Amino acid sequence: MPQASSRHIRFKGRSFPVLTLEPEQPLEDWFAQLDGLLEQSPAFFARKSIVIELAKLTVERPQLIELLEKLTGRGIRVMGLSGADPSWAADDLPPILVGGRATPQPPTDAGATRDKDANPGTLSPSEEAAFEGIATALGADGAQAADGKSAAASPAPPTAPLILLEPVRSGQSIYYPDGDVTVVGSVASGAEIMAGGSVHIYGTLRGRAMAGAYGEKRARIFCRKLEAELLSVCGVYLTADEISANVQSQAVQAWLENETVKIARLD
């Protein structure tokens, strides 16, 4: 009699980037802010993995269930809870996660630190040269490897950037937690870029751009023409109607300063 083949179910631990929502009290005000964001960008949380951070929120279990129901009613699918009482674990709640941590930030060196009196809205000579020259360099024959990563002869940075040679179309979502994202083209309305580092767009930004999405406060957003639905740096965001008219349709950079997203023209 032939012997039955042995079958095994394999389990492996893997880490994936997720968005963490941190509700604040009073919850009524927090939900009002959330509704304002969703009104401007209805698909902001669509098809994303969301974890709710509860460490700074004082709620009992019934209040938590109500909170989750309100999020579900807004189309936000919660895959896990962080900072919750482990004794609350049950089938009617998402899994309670432990051990999560923010993406580590690279150490700040002297070359990356500006003088405190410098105008944060002004590019350094190296940044200005990079912003002006990279589009031309990328268009040269042989400047790109087949996998879309930079193939320049100079020494590679610790984390290679993600470089997209095609426009990002409506409905597309680009996630790159490991570093900068460069788009040699435009980002359409309804599209989004989420980067662990900075976002560089050498066309029109009509969709959503999120830099420093995993904790890097030094990240910035650069674009040739600003018509964005939303800008976010390290989790702090501006919606379209919060962006000043004097920077609309201009080449700009955006950065985080004192927990506020600042925008300046690149003249």
pLDDT in tens, the chain (267 residues): 555 555 655 555 566 667 788 898 889 998 998 888 888 777 778 777 888 988 888 888 888 999 999 999 988 889 888 888 877 888 888 888 765 555 444 443 333 333 333 444 444 444 444 444 333 333 333 333 333 333 344 444 457 889 999 999 988 888 888 889 999 999 999 888 989 899 999 999 999 999 998 788 999 999 999 999 999 998 888 888 889 999 999 999 999 998 889 999 997
165, 155 Cβ separation under 8 angstroms? no
User: What's the sign of the alpha-carbon dihedral 236, 239, 245, 247?
Assistant: positive
Provide the pLDDT for residue 188: 93
127 and 223 share a domain?
yes
What b/e sequence results for 121-142 when a residue is b if at least 16 CB atoms lie within 10 Å of its CB, and e otherwise?
A: eebeeeeeeebeebeeebeeee
pTM above 0.85, yes or no: no
138 and 256 share a domain?
yes
Task: Check which CATH number belongs to the domain holding 81 and give it.
Answer: 3.30.70
Number of domains in the chain: 2
86 and 211 share a domain?
no
167 and 69 share a domain?
no
93 and 179 share a domain?
no
- Do you find a cis peptide bond into 155, omega within 30 degrees of 0? no
Provide the pLDDT for residue 265: 93
Q: Is residue 1 part of a domain?
A: no
Beta bridge partners of 263: 254
Measured distance CA(155)–CA(78) in Å, rounded? 41
97, 126, 147 — which closes off a domain?
Answer: 97
Q: How far, in Å, are 176, 201, 222, 254 from residue 263 at the CA level?
A: 23, 15, 10, 4
Give the start-end residues of each E strand in 70-145.
78-82, 96-97
97, 128, 163 — which closes off a domain?
Answer: 97
Q: Give the domain extent around 81.
A: 19-97
244 and 175 share a domain?
yes
Q: Is residue 7 part of a domain?
A: no
Q: What does R_g of the chain's alpha carbons equal in angstroms?
A: 21
24 and 142 share a domain?
no
Q: Is residue 13 part of a domain?
A: no
**Strands 236-239 and 230-233, sheet pairing:** antiparallel
Measured distance CA(100)–CA(83) in Å, rounded? 10
Q: Is residue 210 part of a domain?
A: yes
174, 199 Cβ separation under 8 angstroms? no
Q: Tokens 């087949």 sit at which residue? A: 146
